[in-house]
Amino acid sequence: MFRLAFHTPQIPQNTGNAIRTAATTGCELHLIRPLGFDLSDTKLRRAGLDYHDLASVTVFPDLDAAFETWCGARVFAFTTGARKIYSDIRYRPGDVLLFGPEPTGLPPDVLADRRLTGRLRIPMLPGRRSLNLSNAAAIAVYEAWRQHDFAVPPEPVRRSPAQPEAGRPPSEADEPG
């Protein structure tokens, strides 16, 4: 399935919305630290409603750790400054759709990272700054899934609170809800 990755997200409601998107589409949600909130944040839990247990969420200590896990996968960075349009890509299962933090977007060093497959934008009317992070992510994931006829994947491996983070032992603070 596809992987939705949020680089250093700051607003808990957006990540809560993405947890719901992960639960409804079967994509995995990868969160890259540092996060601007605690995973037990009430606003995150509310935005994710009762979908937390249906979503696969993994937290990485940094981008390098995420790239290690993604080894060999295509990684597309979503940014308003890209030339290529997101719907012109033929997505493949395993592709990573990487999004930047609110409100600054992906930092220049990440956008210049040679491990990226490409940079993509979602069209907007002229003079508009950006879409909301969770809306942009949902648009991208649904396009990737649509291209695969909304195929129902095998039951995802769900991250329980006991296995929340790649690279370090779990703690209660990691509970995705």
Task: Round to whole Å and give the CA distance between 113 and 61.
Answer: 18
The beta strand positions in the chain, using DSSP E, are 3-7, 28-32, 56-60, 75-78, 84-85, 96-99, 118-121
| From 27-35, 45-53, 65-73, 123-131, span contacting ligand SAM (CB under 6 A) | 123-131
- The answer to whether 136 contacts ligand SAM (rule: CB under 6 A) is yes
- The answer to whether 121 contacts ligand SAM (rule: CB under 6 A) is yes
Specify whether the backbone of 92 is left (phi greater than 0), alpha (psi in -120 to 50) or beta.
beta
Contact pick of 28, 41, 95, 102 for ligand SAM (by CB under 6 A): 102
- The answer to whether 80 contacts ligand SAM (rule: CB under 6 A) is yes
Q: Which residue is nearest to ligand SAM (CB)?
A: 105
- The answer to whether 106 contacts ligand SAM (rule: CB under 6 A) is yes
For residues 153 and 1, is the Cβ–Cβ distance under 8 A? yes
Whole-Å CA distances, 73 to 61, 129, 134: 19, 30, 22
- The answer to whether 133 contacts ligand SAM (rule: CB under 6 A) is yes
Q: How many residues bind ligand SAM (CB under 6 A)?
A: 18
- The answer to whether 47 contacts ligand SAM (rule: CB under 6 A) is no
* CA dihedral sign of residues 83, 88, 90, 93: positive
Task: Round to whole Å and give the CA distance between 171 and 149.
Answer: 38
Specify whether the backbone of 105 is left (phi greater than 0), alpha (psi in -120 to 50) or beta.
left
Minimum distance from residue 52 beta carbon to ligand SAM (Å):
22
Minimum distance from residue 170 beta carbon to ligand SAM (Å):
28
Residue 124 or 173 with smaller CB distance to ligand SAM: 124
Minimum distance from residue 61 beta carbon to ligand SAM (Å):
20
Residues found near ligand SAM in the complex (CB under 6 A): 78-80, 99-100, 102-106, 121-122, 124, 129-131, 133, 136
